[in-house]
């Protein structure tokens, strides 16, 4: 099975969203899914400096939010 892969991402160093200030820096990414769809979510489970375009990831959820971890 082909893994989803990061299409583009940003590293957030300063957040104005309540509840995210203690998590900086964090990574938000658009991920290409098999079949041509894209999904958005936070990349967790690795340092921000190791995230790159084309990085294979797997989806997890925290509550109702999508998170991506290295595959």
For the segment 15-51, what is each residue's pLDDT rounded down to a tens digit?
A: 787 877 677 899 999 999 998 999 999 999 999 999 9
Report whether pLDDT(52) > 90: yes
The residues near 32 (Cβ < 8 Å, ≥ 6 apart) are: 4, 5, 6, 7, 38
Please tell me the pTM assigned to this model: 0.86
pLDDT the model gives residue 18: 80
pLDDT the model gives residue 11: 96
Report whether pLDDT(1) > 70: no
- pLDDT grade, residue 65 (50/70/90)? confident
CB 10 within 8 A of CB 59: no
CB 53 within 8 A of CB 6: yes
């Amino acid at each position: 099975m082909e893994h989803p892969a990061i299409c583009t991402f940003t590293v957030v160093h300063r957040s104005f969203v309540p509840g995210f200030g203690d998590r900086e820096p964090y990574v938000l990414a658009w991920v290409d899914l098999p079949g041509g769809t894209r999904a958005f979510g936070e990349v967790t489970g690795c340092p921000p400096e190791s995230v790159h375009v084309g990085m294979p990831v797997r989806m997890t959820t925290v509550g109702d939010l999508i998170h991506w971890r290295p595959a």
